[in-house]
């Protein structure tokens, strides 16, 4: 399989949207900005124009070397090769057209980081999962409701990408309510693997005693988080 297809890379080709993403980030010269997924570098010129220190990470070695050659004269840009979700890099602002295949990994990674804001583009159906309410909530909906404030900034039609994906995208702004620990994220995911059971029966799976006959879908976000913390 083509590596770029395997990585879920659909490259943004609209300069107007690229500029919108960077403008929405409200970057000042004092910010440390991280981009995960350099891609073909469409955001780079707008990012470096801000005067901030920019770190851009690309996981495709061929693309990384192409971008190294293309942007080798930019003093405030540091290009890195590797998996951005595994490199321990501090930042204040995240700006990214995230690889679609890494959407959940990206969100769970960001929940554990300390940051000011993130402007990211994700597939429309995944964003719907992040902001889901009511009985259709998933583990990721609970985690993002607890850890983030999410604002939808712009809907982006699929024809703005190459190759053209199957679904439209959405640009969102994320600000942080609170930083989450990895153990809590894992436990919320564990709870939802038993989502059809009552809280009483779920608690038994972890050797805990809870007499509630409610199901997860009947609990508030804070009640689910408390339950997850109790089984750590």
Would you state the pLDDT for residue 8?
Answer: 54
Would you state the pLDDT for residue 136?
Answer: 86
110-131 pLDDT, tens per residue?
999 999 999 999 999 999 999 9
| Domain total of the chain | 2
Judge whether 50 and 76 are in contact, CB under 8 Å.
no
The SS3 call for residue 192 is helix
Residue 31: closest CA among 94, 84, 110, 123: 94
Lowest mean pLDDT among 2-6, 47-51, 74-78, 115-119: 2-6
Quickly state the pLDDT bin for 232 (edges 50, 70, 90): low
**What mean pLDDT, rounded, does the chain reach?**
93
**What count of residues does the chain have?**
232
Angstrom distance (rounded) from CA 80 to CA 146: 31
Judge whether 52 and 29 are in contact, CB under 8 Å.
yes
- Assess whether 130 and 212 both reside in one domain: no
Lowest mean pLDDT among 4-8, 29-33, 158-162, 195-199: 4-8
Q: Model-level pTM?
A: 0.92
Judge whether 110 and 174 are in contact, CB under 8 Å.
yes
Quickly state the pLDDT bin for 1 (edges 50, 70, 90): very low
- Assess whether 17 and 87 both reside in one domain: yes
Domain extent, residue 206, equals 184-230
Percent of the chain's residues with pLDDT above 90: 86
Angstrom distance (rounded) from CA 196 to CA 177: 29
- Assess whether 137 and 84 both reside in one domain: yes
- Assess whether 156 and 195 both reside in one domain: no
- Assess whether 21 and 126 both reside in one domain: yes
Angstrom distance (rounded) from CA 145 to CA 147: 6
């Amino acid at each position: 399989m083509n590596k770029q297809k395997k990585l879920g890379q659909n490259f943004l080709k609209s300069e107007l949207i690229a500029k919108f993403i960077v403008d929405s980030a409200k970057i000042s010269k004092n910010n440390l900005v991280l981009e995960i997924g350099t891609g073909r570098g469409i955001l780079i010129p707008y990012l470096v124009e801000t005067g901030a220190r920019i770190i851009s990470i690309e996981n495709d070695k061929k693309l990384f070397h192409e971008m190294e050659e293309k942007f080798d004269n930019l003093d405030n840009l540091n290009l890195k090769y590797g998996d951005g979700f595994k490199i321990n890099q501090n930042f204040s602002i995240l700006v990214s057209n995230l690889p679609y295949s890494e959407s959940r990994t990206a969100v769970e990674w960001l929940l554990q980081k300390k940051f000011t804001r993130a402007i990211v583009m994700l597939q429309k159906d995944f964003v719907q999962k992040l902001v889901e309410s009511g009985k259709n909530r998933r583990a990721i909906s609970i985690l993002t409701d607890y850890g983030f404030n999410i604002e939808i900034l712009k809907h982006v039609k699929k024809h703005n990408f190459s190759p053209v994906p199957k679904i439209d995208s959405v640009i969102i702004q994320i600000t942080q309510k609170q930083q989450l620990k990895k153990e809590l994220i894992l436990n919320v995911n564990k709870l939802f693997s038993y989502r059809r059971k009552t809280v009483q029966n779920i608690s038994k799976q972890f050797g805990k005693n809870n007499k509630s006959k409610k199901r997860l879908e009947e609990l508030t976000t804070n009640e689910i988080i408390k339950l997850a913390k109790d089984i750590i």
